[in-house]
Amino acid sequence: MIRLEQILTPGRSLVNVPGGSKKRVLEQIAKLVARDLPDLDNQDIFESLVAREKLGSTGFGNGIAIPHCRLTGCTSPISAVLRLDAPVDFDAIDGAPVDLLFVLLVPEAATDEHLELLRQIASMLDRSDVRERLRQASDSTSLYQVVVDVQSGR
């Protein structure tokens, strides 16, 4: 089974990301992920994320969004986590603006493994103590470390 820390890196764990709007945030996510996927164009990633949002917001509630999509040309799951410098409206279920985003991109032929990764993310972010720790992380490394620690049961 794939675990979250296997598909997330400190380089894709960012704090104080300028938000502005949902569109801008999705553009930034696409640029960030494209750096590690040389075969994929950030515009394609952006468009896939936007297409998924049109099916229904990935705003999860409690200031959290989990933008995710299947991606042609993506060979294995890839994840990123961002904490915005200011919350943005993300059409979340509870109407609250979003400041924490957990991103999951999976290959076109998504499997149960990918649903399991989404479940891992959702159950982790369901915990108020975890959300608090993510919001208090002072830099990329500590943001990443919170995820690793939580996954390891610390």
Q: Which residue has the tokens 């479940």?
A: 119
Choose among 145, 124, 146, 16: nearest CA to 28. Answer: 16
Element (H, E) at 149: helix 140-151
HSE-up of residue 23 (Cα within 13 Å, Cβ side): 0
Q: How far apart are CA 55 and CA 141, in angstroms?
A: 33
Two structure tokens written together for 82: 């961002």
- The radius of gyration of the chain from alpha carbons, rounded to an integer in Å, stands at 14
Q: Which one is catalytic: 22, 68, 114, 131?
A: 68
Choose among 61, 139, 73: nearest CA to 102. Answer: 61
Is 114 among the residues known to form the active site? no
Choose among 25, 36, 130: nearest CA to 86. Answer: 25
Active-site residues: which are they?
68
